[in-house]
Amino acid sequence: MDAPVGRYLPAFGRAHDTAVTVRRLLTHSGGELGWKPLYQQARDRRAIMDLAEQTPLEYPPGTRMIYSDLGAITLTDMVETLTGERLDRFLKRRLFEPLGMRDTRFNPPRSWRSRIARRRTTRRGGTGWCTHGA
Amino acid sequence: MHDENAAAMGGVSGHAGLFGTAPDLMRFAQMMLNGGVARARGEGREMARTRVTGS
């Protein structure tokens, strides 16, 4: 937990200080920027993760707490690198199935739509479903 | 849920994209209360059974 993230993700280690630890990413105090429109510059999964991991820190690790999507994306890469499994399969096998969480998953199928809360508005002012056009 | 970064990641990421139900979330929360195990044993079970506010 207190190991530098760079120990598991060498490219991250080259970009950031060893003070960015796994525990700090989990507690949103690693220095990561909260959010950034990565999708505008990177199209695929690997490129999004690389961009998130190369984004300069916003504050010195351990000095503040900023809820960070970028930190969570970095942890996603770490889990996948260490387990060799994509996050959805890893969580299904290690967490959801053992706990009997049969109604928890990524990319819910169309058949779940009637059970998914509908968004009232989007940033553009329209309405839409909460899923990624599944 | 509407998150372009998660969408660009195929809908699978640690920051967004997970869907679930209240009963499932309760199973997860109970596991946390158990001290990180599905069925509490030892110290985790003791903690869950210990009254911490008054008698």
Residue pLDDT, tens place only, A40-77: 999 899 999 999 999 999 999 999 999 999 999 999 99
In the numeric block, the tokens 């309760």 are attached to: B26
**A67–chain B Cβ distance below 8 A for any pair:** no
Examine residue B47 and state whether it is found in any structural domain, yes or no.
yes
Say whether pLDDT at A125 is over 70: no
Task: Indicate yes or no: pTM above 0.90.
Answer: no
A130 vs B52: which has the higher pLDDT: B52
A89 and A116, same domain (yes or no)? no
Please count the structural domains in chain A.
2
What per-residue confidence (pLDDT) applies to A57? 96
Number of domains in chain B: 1
**Are A82 and A112 members of one domain?**
no
**Does the residue B3 lie in any domain?**
no
- A79 & A131 share domain: no
**pLDDT > 90: percent of chain A:** 81
Contact A45 B10 (CB under 8 A): yes
Q: Looking at the structure, do residues A89 and A115 belong to the same domain, yes or no? A: no
- State the Cα torsion A28-A34-A39-A41 to the nearest 10°: -110
Interface check for B22 against chain A (CB to CB < 8 A): the answer is: no
* A104/B21 Cβ within 8 A: yes
pLDDT at residue A107 greater than cutoff 90: yes
Q: Judge if A119 and A89 occupy the same domain.
A: no
Q: A32 with A84, same domain?
A: yes
Does A133 score more than 50 pLDDT? no
Residues of A in contact with B15 (CB under 8 A): 69-70, 72-73, 76
Q: Provide the domain limits for residue B24.
A: 20-55
Are A75 and B14 an interchain contact pair (Cβ–Cβ within 8 Å)? yes
- A77 plus A12 within the same structural domain: yes
A82 and B CB contact within 8 Å: no
Q: Which of A87, A99, A108 sits opposite B28 (nearest CB)?
A: A99
Summarize pLDDT for B5-21 with one digit per residue, the tens. Answer: 999 999 999 999 999 99
Per DSSP, helices labelled H in A27-126 are: 45-54, 69-83, 87-91, 97-99
Same domain membership, residue A78 and residue A120? no
Residue A60 to residue A66: CA distance in whole angstroms: 11
Give the whole-angstrom CA distance, residue B47 versus residue A66. 30
On chain B, the residues whose CB falls within 8 A of the CB of A79 are 14
Asked if A92 and A128 sit in the same domain, the reply is: no
CA distance A60 to A18: 11
What pLDDT is attached to residue A130?
47
A86 and A110 within one domain: no
**What is the C-alpha separation between B13 and B7, in angstroms, rounded?**
9
- Domain range spanning residue A82? 5-101
pLDDT score of A123: 56
**Does A82 lie in the same domain as A130?**
no
- Let me know whether A88 and A116 are in one domain: no
- Best residue in A36, A46, A66, A103 to probe B by mutation, most B CBs within 10 Å? A103
